[in-house]
Amino acid sequence: MSLTAVIIIVVLVLLCAYAVSLYNGLVRLKHGVSKAWSNIDVLLKQRHDELPKLVETCKQYMQYEGSTLERVIAARSAVASAREQHDVGALGKAESGLRAGLGQLFALAENYPELKANDSFQHLQQRISGLENGIADRRELYNEAVNLNNVRIEQFPDVIIARMFNFQAAELLVFSEAEKADVDMKSLFN
């Protein structure tokens, strides 16, 4: 074998090894997005299970706040539906509605001293608030995993492998601007 043939074979082997390395990196990123989503999903399920307990506890004291309780239950259903369908866009909208409803529910609870003093309500409020914080933290990690994935599948030379093997961009989990705005506490008590 000539020296030229050996050089060509070595170059081809190195190119193949590099392509495999790129492919494996993209697979790792894709699974990182899935893992981050699973971490959010666990917390969403836990909160989903806690919300009916909170609503039942509130019903005992808040006879005149039925519409608020109904909004929380409807938003809970919308979140569950989006989560089950893995529809990140719909989940972001549903989450915004649920968080607004919970904020209003907790603000209205201030008008009911017996409810605020109830051990079950206090426990559920702390549990749900803790889950909300966990979801926010996991959302940040999920969005970072999505960003890393999306950047890599657009960068050269990764884009070649990504297109060859149909790697897809993932969707960021974004909440509405309304959720990021400060809550108008006056409007909650009118």
The residue ranges of every structural domain in the chain are 3-188
Question: SS3 sequence, 131-183?
Answer: HHHHHHHHHHHHHHHHHHHHHHCCCCCHHHHHHHCCCCCCCCCCCCHHHHCCC
| pLDDT tens string 108-147 | 888 888 888 888 888 999 999 999 999 999 999 999 999 9
Task: Identify the three-state secondary structure at position 87.
Answer: coil
**Which pTM was predicted?**
0.79
Closest CA to 122 of 182, 53, 23: 53
Reading the block at residue 61, the tokens are 């004291």
Distance, CA of 51 to CA of 132 (rounded, Å):
12
| pLDDT tens string 133-144 | 999 999 999 999
190: pLDDT strictly greater than 60: no
Task: Identify the three-state secondary structure at position 111.
Answer: coil
Q: Phi and psi (nearest 5°) for 176?
A: -70, 160
CATH class of 3-188: mainly alpha
Mean pLDDT over 64-77 rounds to 86
Q: Phi and psi (nearest 5°) for 87?
A: -95, 95
pLDDT of the residue at 177: 58
Distance, CA of 181 to CA of 179 (rounded, Å):
5
Distance, CA of 171 to CA of 174 (rounded, Å):
9
Task: Identify the three-state secondary structure at position 20.
Answer: helix
